[in-house]
Structure 1
């Protein structure tokens, strides 16, 4: 367990790296916010902030009631 909690920026960077590495392929759901909160030992609002960063970077998109999914690379660039 880390000595200090990760910030939402650090979590967003880690998730972005995992997406880039192919750990989360395009159009697959990321783990739920609750699962990510447990994984990173942070609160759900911290995960929500990380999701905002990923969405702003065009890496993810939300489907109401279904979760957050990985964006196809470059798909939303237009």
Structure 2
């Protein structure tokens, strides 16, 4: 039986999605300046609700990987992480 000392806290789904999107960006699937799929497309792809996608997008924005243009979409920054 696991004890408090050897358990790993569970990862939230939005963290997993943010990590996956970051890896896809770094791999060149979404090059700098490109638009990420819409919230609707991402919710269908990852089979989650819109608030989960919103949290994942917030993580990418805070990390400086993406920028959100209101009413337009989420874009990969020209210099990710800058």
What is the TM-score of this pair, normalised by structure 1?
Answer: 0.85
| Deviation per residue, 1:25-75 (Å, 9 max, x gap) | 11111000110000000001100000000000110001111000001125x
What is the TM-score of this pair, normalised by structure 2?
Answer: 0.81
Moved over 4 A (4+): none
Larger Rg computed on CA atoms: 2
Distance in 1, matches of 2:63 and 2:79, equals: 11
Distance in 1, matches of 2:15 and 2:55, equals: 8
List alignment gaps of at least 5 residues for structure 2. 1-11
Distance in 2, matches of 1:46 and 1:64, equals: 19
**Counterpart of 2:29?**
23
List alignment gaps of at least 5 residues for structure 1. 1-5
After TM superposition, the structure 1 = structure 2 runs for residues 22-61 of structure 1, keeping only pairs within 5 Å, are 22-61=28-67
- Match of 1:13, SS state, is helix
Alignment length (residue pairs): 71
> What is the RMSD of the two structures over their aligned residues, measured on CA atoms?
1.4
